[in-house]
Each structure stands twice: as structure tokens, then as C-alpha cells.
Amino acid sequence: MKNNLDNLDIQILDLLEEDGRASAKSIALKLGITEVTASKRISKIIKGDHCKVVAIADFEKCGFEFLLPMGIRVHGKQLEQVAEKISSLDAVYSVSAVSGIQDLEILCATKTLDETVELLDVTLPAIKGIKSITPAISSKVYKFQTDWAPLGND
Amino acid sequence: MIDHIDSKIIALLGKDARMPNNKIAKAINVSEGTVRNRIAKLLKKNIINISLIRNVNQMDNPGIAFVGLDVEASLKDKIAMQLSKMPEVRFVSSLMGRHDLMAFVLADNATELSHILYQKIASLEGVQFTESSIGLKYFKYDYKWGRLLSEAK
């Protein structure tokens, strides 16, 4: 993944990993380069496909009481359409096509039991092509690492 | 809890955490001081965390698996902790329904993935059954959200 990055880029990447909002000035000071160079390199690194520097917000502290890792099975050839429809729902945080018993693995977040029930009993079943929904509620999250993710072209 | 100004700041920082305070202030019509204070508060309370996210799609041949585990009831907590300690295991949660535990694994390649699934995870004491699904395609991943667990670091 670091193919197009040189040594200096990688050093900058490591500093951004420690503090994503570190100023170009402080990075320049630490690496003994000019602020202009630091600034240019930072833009290059974070505008490319390699990584993003973003704020990650905590589900629970922002009021999402329910985290639901669900398996979805889909009729025949409708996988892509079903996946796109599910992806368009706000409550849905991730959608992955998988091989195995399930066709899709999705992760949803909801704020109340009513919202959860609505999602499970009304919204998802209304999507044409879904064969079955295997729901679960996450009771305790032990680990949630966010340093790698599939980044699209948004 | 957070108010609507916090929410707006979180939304902007969720797209680009390096957005300068004065730009954020202008975008949401509050003073730069307010933005600075709010961000400091959000960080201090661990409501947000500024992270560098590397792109899985830039890995040559990543092996990703969603693993459901059925385990001996008395060992559930212990197994969850053991899974959390494995660097390739990115997510661990206990579940109500479906399985007792769920884990996501990200490995450098398929060989390493199978090693983790069969040698490291399935052989843990108390694991009775595992159901693994291999990730093929990613339709959505909203990286702006997560659980910020200080003890996991």
C-alpha cells in the first residue's frame, strides 16, 4: 500500500497517525523540513487513495443504543440491488458481500428499541429480494479498531 | 450528550479532520473560539477521536472474515478478551442472538487468514463452533462511526 509513498511521506503518515490534526508547522519542525514541504506532502498523502484523516464518533455517546450485526440472505441474482438498497438506509453503517451461509453481512446502529423494531420488521423486509434476516444485538463491544477501512471515492 | 452544534462539527470533521477551525466556524456560523472549545470538549470526553484510516482497498490481497462463535458460556468473557488481543482481529462483540460472539478479522492474505481462523481462533479453549464468512465486496462502510474504547489501545 505504500508503493507511491517515499520515506518522508511515510514519516509524515506516522506523525498523522499519532495526531491527525497536527499542524504542518509542527510536523515540519519534527522532521526538519520546511513548512511548505510539509504542507504539500500532507495534502498529497491525504488526498490520495492511501488514507484519510477523519474524526470518528462514538456510536454510544452519540445516542445509538443498539449496534446490530446482521446476516442477510438474498434470492438468486439480486445481490447487488439488495446491497445497494440496504446501503442507502441511514441506520446501516456497513454492508459487505460475503461467501458462506449468509450473502451479506451488515452492521446497523439505532437509537431506540422502536427504531430497531421498525428496521427489522418493516424497513428491511420491504426490500425486494431479501430471503432471510438473521439479526443480533451487540451486548458488549470488546474491540473496535478503526485504523483500516475500505475507502471509496466519496 | 451532544447538541446540534456538536453534531455539525462532528459531521464536518468526519469528512476531513484537518479542516481548520476558522473554516468550520464559517461553515456552521459560530465563532472560531466556540469551534475550538467544542472540539477540545469532544476529544476530552472521548466522543470523537481523530484517526488516520488506511485504505483496505490498497492492500494487495487482503483476507477479511466475519466470524460468529458459539462458546462455552462460562468462558465467553475470557474468549472475547483473548480475541481482542489478536492484532488481526479488528472487532469483537458479544451478541444477543445469532451467536455468542462476533469477530471481524483482517489479514494480509488468504493463507494468513486461514491460519488465524483455524489455528488461532477455532482452537481457543471453550470455542464450540465457528461460522466464518469471507468478505468479497464492500458496498458501504461509514468509517465516521466506531466505538472509542480507551482500554483497547
Residue B140 contacts A, CB cutoff 8 Å: yes
Residue A1 predicted with pLDDT over 60: no
Query: Helix or strand or coil: residue A141?
Result: strand
* Mean of all residue pLDDT scores within chain B: 91
H or E stretch including A102?
Answer: none
Grid cell for residue A57: 464518533
Identity at B127, one-letter amino acid code? V
Confidence of residue B153 (pLDDT cuts 50, 70, 90): very low
* Stretch 54-83 of chain A: residues touching chain B, C-beta under 8 Å: 54-63, 67, 69-71, 83
CATH number attached to the domain at A60-134 = 3.30.70.920
What domains sit in chain B, N to C, each tagged with a CATH number? 4-44 (1.10.10.10), 62-134 (3.30.70.920)
B134 touches A: beta carbon within 8 Å: yes
Lowest mean pLDDT segment, chosen from A14-18, A66-70, A136-140, B127-131 = A14-18
Q: What is the tens place of the pLDDT at every residue in A126-145?
A: 999 999 999 999 999 999 98
Q: Which H or E element spans position B6?
A: helix B4-15
Q: How far apart are CA A35 and CA B29, in angstroms?
A: 30
Query: What is the Cα–Cα distance from B76 to B100, expressed in whole angstroms?
Result: 7
Domain boundaries, chain A: 7-47, 60-134
CATH number for region A7-47: 1.10.10
> Once rounded to an integer, what is the mean pLDDT over residues A25-40?
94
B/e letters for A135-154, b = 16+ CB within 10 Å, e = fewer, are bbbbeebbbbbbebbbbeee
Residues of A in contact with B80 (CB under 8 A): 140, 142
- Please tell me if residue A113 touches chain B, with a CB cutoff of 8 Å: no
B 80-109 residues inside an 8 A Cβ radius of A? 80-81, 83-84, 89-99, 102, 106
Q: Average pLDDT, stretch A21-48?
A: 91
